[in-house]
Amino acid sequence: MLKKIELLKYKGTLNFEKIGVILDNAQSELDNYSTDTLIKKRIYSILVEALENIYHHGYLQQKNDEYLPSGILSKYGENFLLEISNTILNEKIKNFTKILNFVNNLSDEKIKNSYYGKIKNKKIIEEGNPGVGIIQIAKKGKGKLSYNFKKIDDKISYFTLKIII
């Protein structure tokens, strides 16, 4: 069984200042656990994208502290594991699931081409079409994006995305 070592953990509302602190702490932890600069850059890039997605797209609710935005960066065997969670409106789950499944079904080459195509053409987000952020996360991670939704009530759910790096 692989040993999971928690390097960084965060739970709470986000703003740009808090994101900066999280990224600084992540950089320090990565310096302790990874000698490969490329891996550190990939993790940092994915973490930036994931935190920005939570900040810009998460549904903020104050019902229960259990469902605040959160993130855990762990060393998992030879890899790293980033688990990011936040609330999402139930009405957005169907479309978001389509986006995640679409990206998961792309080959590595198609993910790369899709990413560079969007950057080149400056296409950010179109309805039903993955944005640059999700594609960038998939491009820099290993394997498929793992995700789940936990229904909180009729209006919102708690979304968790797991990325192996």
CB atoms within 10 A of CB 144: 16
Burial (CB count <10 Å: 0-12, 13-18, 19+), residue 7: buried
Average confidence score pLDDT of the chain: 86
Domain that holds residue 158: 4-164
Contact 149, 93 (CB under 8 A): yes
Give the chain's domain count: 1
What pLDDT is stored for residue 9 in this prediction? 96
How far is the C-alpha of 160 from the C-alpha of 147, rounded, in Å?
5
Q: What is the pTM of this model?
A: 0.84
The CATH number assigned to the domain holding 146 equals 3.30.565.10
The band of 154, judged by pLDDT with boundaries at 50, 70 and 90, is very high
Sign of the torsion angle spanned by Cα atoms 95, 96, 100, 103:
positive
SS3 label, residue 105: coil
Measure Cα distances from 119 to 15, 105, 115, 123, 136 in Å. 26, 20, 6, 7, 10
pLDDT digits (tens, 9 = 90+) for 90-139: 999 999 999 899 899 988 888 877 755 655 555 544 444 456 788 889 99
